[in-house]
Structure 1
Amino acid sequence: MYKRLLAAIDRTDPIGTDLIGRRCKTLVDASGPSIALIHVRLSLPESYVRHLPPQWEADEFIETENWLRQIAMDHGFAAHLSDVFPPTGNVASEVTQIATNIGADLIIVAAHRATIGRRILGSNAHAIMRDAPCDVLIVRD
């Protein structure tokens, strides 16, 4: 069925992270796709960045890569992990761009409960679904 999967994970959402991890394991057990994980890091304002140590960006990049690899290990699909991506920027744009670049045929993203703010401003899951170059699986708790 699906051969190349990209799972978008939010480091601030442990429930969604666990849901996505379990779905990845289920898909691996069923059809064995390769899986890439992505967590889009927020861009900090330059006024903050200039007060951080010079190695901060590189350290955060490596820490996020390691965190993504650990998720694959914790959920039992590390053997199917093809890559991890910790870009900085707009979540929906980065996820859809990486999906295009790696030729993903499925993106997995966790849905958050709708709030009035999300309805007004939109959500990352909605933007990914709208702009994705492939199928999108939205998981819920």
Structure 2
Amino acid sequence: MPRHILVAIDLLDSDCWAMLCPEIRDLVKPDTHLHLMHVVPEQKALSPLAQFIPEGFEDAHRAESHKALELLAEDLPKGTDVHFHLRSGNVYVEVLEAAGKLDVDLIVVGSQSPDLKDYLLGPKAARIVRHAECSVLVVRDKGKT
């Protein structure tokens, strides 16, 4: 059983935690160290309009993200050793870098259900699976077809 688990959570996707939480509850044991991580996209990479984003926006977004991670942790079994990580940059790069630094046994990521035309993982999940040096659990959203 994995003892150090990194869960990549997209706080901008309201269904993400609902999809991942049941899987995480099944994985968490008394000696598990759970790392919940959200990557804040770099504003400059998001849009040519990034120059119009007010100063302090990224800091405010980080503070709100940390509060959201704390709320998510309340759904976990009491006594779970939870660590919060907020990073900025490219999602798959940051997840892989954190996994290496934290020496995790397992990375948990979500993936949308494929539609009839596409049976591939999303690009972020696929890159994490391809390049991770540990096991990766990809949780599909069973509620969507």
Indicate the TM-score class for this superposition, using the shorter chain for normalisation: 0.7 to 0.9
Q: Is 1:43 paired with 2:49?
A: no
Residue of structure 1 in register with 2:85 after alignment: 85
Large movers: runs of 4+ above 6 Å? none
Bigger drift between 125-134 and 75-84 goes to 75-84
User: For residues 12 and 98 of structure 1, do their structure 2 counterparts lie closer, same or farther at Cα, with a shift above 3 Å needed?
Assistant: same
SS of corresponding position for 2:84: strand
* Shift of residue 31, structure 1, vs aligned partner: 5.6
Q: Distance in 2 between matches of 1:117 and 1:27?
A: 29
Bigger drift between 107-116 and 18-27 goes to 107-116
Matches within 5 A, 1:37-116: 37-45=36-44, 48-73=49-74, 75-77=75-77, 79-114=79-114
User: For residues 104 and 139 of structure 1, do their structure 2 counterparts lie closer, same or farther at Cα, with a shift above 3 Å needed?
Assistant: same
Gaps of 5+ in 2: none
Identity of aligned residues (%): 27
What's the TM-score once normalised by structure 1's chain length?
Answer: 0.83
* Shift of residue 37, structure 1, vs aligned partner: 0.7
**For 1:18-43, what per-residue CA distance to the aligned partner results, in whole angstroms no more than 9, with x for missing partners?**
12122222212x46411001111222
- For this pair of structures, how many residues does the alignment match? 138
Gaps of 5+ in 1: none
The answer to whether the Cα contact below 8 Å between 1:69 and 1:78 also exists between their aligned partners in 2 is no
* Shift of residue 49, structure 1, vs aligned partner: 4.1
Q: Distance in 2 between matches of 1:25 and 1:62?
A: 26
Bigger drift between 44-53 and 15-24 goes to 44-53
Letter of the 1:71 counterpart: L
The answer to whether the Cα contact below 8 Å between 1:36 and 1:83 also exists between their aligned partners in 2 is yes
Residue of structure 1 in register with 2:23 after alignment: 23
* Bigger share in strand: 2
